[in-house]
Structures are given as C-alpha cells and as structure tokens.
Amino acid sequence: MQKGVHYIKIQRQKSNNLSTQEDIVAVEEPLEIQVQEFEAKAAYPISVTMRTPGNDEGLALGFLFTEGLLKNYKQVKSVFPFGDNKVVVQLQQGVSIQLDKTDRNFYTTSSCGVCGKTSIEAIKTNSQFKIATHEKPSKKLLFGLQETLSNQQSLFSLTGGIHAAALFNFSGNLLFIQEDVGRHNALDKLIGEAMKNGILPLNKHILLLSGRASFELIQKAVMAGISTIVAVGAPSSLAVELAKEHNQTLIGFLKKDGFNVYSGEVS
C-alpha cells in the first residue's frame, strides 16, 4: 500500500448511474515537532503541523531552519520519530532554541504556514544568506521542468490533493522532490533534505512548486538562499514583492509552451 494515502469506499454519481467504488485520498495527520537540548532529560514541543506522513525528520529540520531556530545541520545531534505523529530533534551541546525569536504559536494547518504567527513583524524571518547575482534559467530548461515533475509526483497522480516541491540544478537534473498535503510542509521537507546533505545555500538551484507561489513559500526559499523559484500556478502580490526585494527570479504559470516572469530575468 502506498504510504501517504488511504483507500476508501465512496458513492460515485456519473450521469444517471450511482456506483460504489474505491477511491484514494491523501492522508492528513498532525505532527508534533519536539526539541531536546543536549543535557535535558526530556524533549519539549515546538510546533504542531498538519501534514502527510513521510520524511517527518526532514519536515522537522526544514521547519526549524526556515523559522530561524537552527542555522545548520551541525547543530543537530540526531533526529528521529517518536511514535506515529511525533518527531524529536536532539541538539548538540551548547545549542539551544530561542522561542522568543519566532513569536509563533504551536499550531499551523496544512493550508497555512504562517497562521501560527502572532505578529506581522514575526512573519519576516531574517535569512543568513544573501542572494546576489545568479545564473539566469533558459527557456528550454524551464519548459522541461514541469514534465519532470509530473513524472515524479506519485501521490498527486493518485489523489489529486498533494503539493510537491522539487529542487533542480541549472542542468535540469532533479535532485530532490518532496510531497505533502501542505505546500509549506513539502518545501520544509525539501529544505530539510538539503540541510542534511550540506548543500545550503541553494543559490545555484531552481525550486519548482506544483501550485501557486505564496508569501510563505518565497519566505522559506529566501531562508534557504534559493535564487530561482518557478511555480505552476500564480504568485501573490506579496510573493512578488518579497522575490524582488531579495533579488530572486520568480516565474509563474509555467506551462509546456509559456510562463510569466514576475521578478528577475531568463536567458
């Protein structure tokens, strides 16, 4: 059975016929992210997010990084699941989490990655990376990205209800792809993988999003130093403003024969 999906019996109406069939839906379950400091006897909760199970360790790492709570993977001693819906991040000696820097409540939904923020000032997390001059993606490269994503995005093809975040290099090679019912979770999983593999900042990479480009996704991309963001859907006005502010290339409405450039340039 495919992980991340449930098989359920449904009633399907088509024309004048009603039939009982099996359908596939994406799993959505809570994940509690906990942190345990080096000499502490117990872990403590940082956040609860609604997610599709799979790569919970990467999700936890990516979340802590994009919230500005961790700077690199060297600060982590280990990360492991605790039961079905908890993951614990153990910190190295001398590393601590400063919750007052996030001003975040402990709950976010699968549809909103900034819903737990308690102030406007807390939304704009400061990145340790500066995105300066970077390579311009070619039109040929961009047109090939969506086909590659479609071939790899397995849960979406099964359920139609999953978002994907994929990381490419400028040769068009797919490096990582992550899926989740929450678009921000998919990106956190992706950034967590990049963090574990020691390739941050991602200033020589292209992020492809299966849906729209919202502010929260651009903010996470800024934190990871991602230079080029391509979305199959539309960007929001605030996403465009943030991309321009941080010298990112932002492309939306990617199709097989066209796209819109909202920030930056293509070659």
Of the candidates 24, 99, 112, 114, the residue annotated as catalytic is: 112
Task: Give strand pairing partners of 22.
Answer: 9
Query: DSSP letters along 17-70, please?
Result: EEEEEEEEEE--EEEEEEEE-TT-SS-EEEEEEEE-SS-HHHHHHHHHHHTTS-
Closest CA to 24 of 10, 39, 6: 6
Q: In what order do the strands lie in the sheet with 44-51?
A: 76-81, 86-91, 29-36, 44-51, 107-108
- Element holding 108 (H helix, E strand): strand 107-108
Contact present, 210 and 185 (Cβ < 8 Å): no
- Phi, psi angles (nearest 5°) of residue 70: -125, 145
Tokens read off for 178: 């992550």
Q: Which residues contact 72 (CB under 8 A, 6 or more apart)?
A: 195, 200
DSSP 226: -
Residue 115 annotated as catalytic: no
Strands 107-108, 44-51: pairing kind:
parallel
> Which residues are annotated as catalytic?
112
